[in-house]
Structure 1
Amino acid sequence: MMRFDPFREIEELTQRMDRAFGGPAAHAARLAPPVDVHESAGGLELTLDLPGVKPEDIQIEAENQTLSVQAERKYAREEGRTAHRVERAYGTLSRTFSVPAKYDLTKVEADFDHGTLTLRVPRSEAAQKRSVSVRSGGQLTAGKTVEAGAAPEQTDGHAPAQQA
């Protein structure tokens, strides 16, 4: 006696359709891989999961404050082999990120290890923190560290009063 499976006929029909029309590879889906984005004083770090992708199948483009990652995960279809279940995603994996101008897209670094792509985007030199020395009565005083693009503390043109 065979146990009744209401989905068996649907799965068999799906398999026949896959064989007739080229299988999952024929459905060139665009998928968005999961990503973690972290920011530190040094810059941005983006980590994407690209399991089953070969390093040579990854394209990274940086242009006009946009960082794009595209990879291809191919379905290996073999003659004489029947797929009973295909649940993993195949096709083009693609993500695009808008990167603020304070990061330097000309110096992006990429590492790919065990299906994980890590992109590092450093801060631009203009956006780095730096120390500015202040002259008072012709003598230099201790510098103050400021971040590029930070709003000044006062806008009336006068320096803050120093306490003795």
Structure 2
Amino acid sequence: MMRFDPFREIEELTQRMDRAFGQSGGTVRLAPPVDVHEDERGLELTLDLPGVSPDAIHIEAENNTLTVQAERKYARQDGRTAHRVERAYGTLARTFSVPAKYDLTKVEADFDHGTLSIRVPRSEAAQKRAVTVRSGGQLTAPRTVDAQGDTTTGTPQQA
């Protein structure tokens, strides 16, 4: 007796569609999983690219768009029959819209053990700064104003 698998029909349909559109052998265009984190320094994007060599990774930054592409090739060997090919092969690609407050001219990337880490720093114009306030023509200590309109001198207030 065979166990019921609700996803078997979907998997079979996907395989038929891949064959019909020339995507045989597990070669497809995939979007690799990504984590996106932000802190005061900028954005960090971390993508999983297992089985990809560093020279097969291409990163482009243009017009507030960051594009990552990588190629994982299937190595076919003569005289060898593949009974099952479940791992994904082909082009892995992701495109990200990056707000103008980040500087795409200073993107840095590291690749280690199948994980690509991309750092996009905040632009100089978007950096947080303390502003010196003049009072009666005299300079005073830098002050910032919070959202409620309270003025602080840069030291934390106690509740």
Q: Same fold (TM over 0.5)?
A: yes
State the partner residue of 2:98: 99
CA distance in 1, matches of 2:24, 2:34: 28
User: Residue 144 of structure 1: CA displacement?
Assistant: 2.6
Consecutive unaligned residues of structure 1, counting only runs of 5 or more, are 5-13, 147-151, 155-159
Give matches, 1:111-130, under 5 Å. 111-130=110-129
Consecutive unaligned residues of structure 2, counting only runs of 5 or more, are 3-14, 152-159
State the partner residue of 1:143: 142
Which consecutive aligned stretches of 4+ in structure 1 deviate over 2 angstroms post-superposition? Answer: none
CA distance in 2, matches of 1:80, 1:50: 29
User: Residue 32 of structure 1: CA displacement?
Assistant: 0.2
User: Residue type of the partner of 1:104?
Assistant: D
Aligned length: 136
User: Residue type of the partner of 1:24?
Assistant: G
Greater Rg over alpha carbons, structure: 1
Alignment TM-score, normalising by the size of structure 2: 0.76
Say whether the 8 Å CA contact 1:129–1:145 is kept in structure 2.
no
Give matches, 1:7-156, under 5 Å. 24=25, 27=27, 29-145=28-144
User: Residue 60 of structure 1: CA displacement?
Assistant: 0.1
Larger relative strand fraction: 1
Alignment TM-score, normalising by the size of structure 1: 0.74
CA 1:49 to 1:141, structure 2 compared with 1: closer, same or farther past 3 Å? same
CA distance in 2, matches of 1:49, 1:139: 55
